[in-house]
Structure 1
Amino acid sequence: MRKIIKKIFKKSPSSNQDGVFFDKISAILGFTPLNLNYYEQAFTHRSTNKTDAQGNQINYERLEFLGDAMLGSVIAAHLYKEVPTGDEGYLTKMRSKIVSREHLNELGRDFNLIQFVESKVSPQHFGENIHGNIFEAFIGAIFLDRGYGYCEQFIAQKIIKRYVDISKLEGKVISYKSLIIEWCQKEKINFRYDIYEDNGNEGGKFFGVKLYFDEQVVGKARATSKKKAEEKASQRAYFAFQEKISRKNN
Structure 2
Amino acid sequence: MTNLSYPRRQKQLESLLQIIGIQSLALVNWQLLDLALTHPSVSSQANYEQLEFVGDAVVRLVAAEVLWEVYPDWKVGEFAAIRSVLVSDRILAFLATKYSIESYLLVTSSDKEGQQSRLADAFEAVLGALYLSTHTLELIRPWLDPHFMQLATEIRSDPARLNYKAALQEWTQGHFKVLPEYRVIENTQGHRPMATDERFSAQVWLQDRLLGQGIGRSIKAAEQAAAQVAFRVLSQQEE
**Into which bin does the TM-score normalised by the smaller protein fall?**
0.5 to 0.7
- Report the equivalent of 1:31: 23
Question: TM-score, normalised to structure 1's length?
Answer: 0.60
Q: Is the 8 A contact 1:76 1:91 kept in 2?
A: yes
Q: Is the 8 A contact 2:16 2:99 kept in 1?
A: no
Matched, 1:166 2:140: no
Higher RCO (Cα < 8 Å, 6 or more apart): 2
Alpha-carbon offset, residue 12 of structure 1: 6.7
- The gaps in structure 1 that reach 5 residues or longer are 51-56, 183-188, 192-211, 219-236
* Partners of 1:101 and 1:8 in 2: CA distance: 31
- Report the equivalent of 1:71: 59
Alpha-carbon offset, residue 190 of structure 1: 4.7
* Partners of 1:115 and 1:47 in 2: CA distance: 16
- Note closer, same or farther for the CA distance 1:58–1:173 as it changes in structure 2 (3 Å cut): farther
Count of matched residue positions in the alignment of Structure 1 and Structure 2: 189
Alpha-carbon offset, residue 123 of structure 1: 5.0
Question: TM-score, normalised to structure 2's length?
Answer: 0.62
Alpha-carbon offset, residue 217 of structure 1: 11
* Partners of 1:165 and 1:72 in 2: CA distance: 13
Q: Is the 8 A contact 1:94 1:170 kept in 2?
A: no
Matched, 1:41 2:35: yes
C-alpha offsets along residues 68-104 of structure 1, whole Å, 9 cap, x if unaligned?
Answer: 1111112212211222222221211111121122111
Alpha-carbon offset, residue 114 of structure 1: 0.7
Task: Read off the aligned partner of 1:213 and give its amino acid letter.
Answer: E
* Partners of 1:92 and 1:12 in 2: CA distance: 43
Alpha-carbon offset, residue 119 of structure 1: 2.0
Alpha-carbon offset, residue 239 of structure 1: 4.9
Q: Which moved more, 1:124-133 or 1:39-48?
A: 124-133
Task: Read off the aligned partner of 2:3 and give its amino acid letter.
Answer: I
- Report the equivalent of 2:88: 100
Does the residue aligned with 2:132 lie in a helix, a strand or coil? Answer: helix
Alpha-carbon offset, residue 60 of structure 1: 0.9
- Note closer, same or farther for the CA distance 1:246–1:147 as it changes in structure 2 (3 Å cut): closer
Matched, 1:155 2:149: no
**RMSD of aligned C-alpha atoms?**
4.1
- Report the equivalent of 1:9: 4
* Partners of 1:123 and 1:167 in 2: CA distance: 34
Task: Read off the aligned partner of 2:121 and give its amino acid letter.
Answer: N
Matched, 1:213 2:186: yes
* Partners of 1:106 and 1:27 in 2: CA distance: 15
Alpha-carbon offset, residue 244 of structure 1: 8.5
C-alpha offsets along residues 24-68 of structure 1, whole Å, 9 cap, x if unaligned?
Answer: 333324213332111111111112225xxxxxx221111111111
* Partners of 1:137 and 1:60 in 2: CA distance: 6
- Report the equivalent of 2:203: none
* % same residue: 18
* Partners of 2:108 and 2:141 in 1: CA distance: 33
Which of 108, 120, 134 is the matching residue for 1:132? 120
* Partners of 1:131 and 1:174 in 2: CA distance: 21
* Partners of 2:163 and 2:133 in 1: CA distance: 38
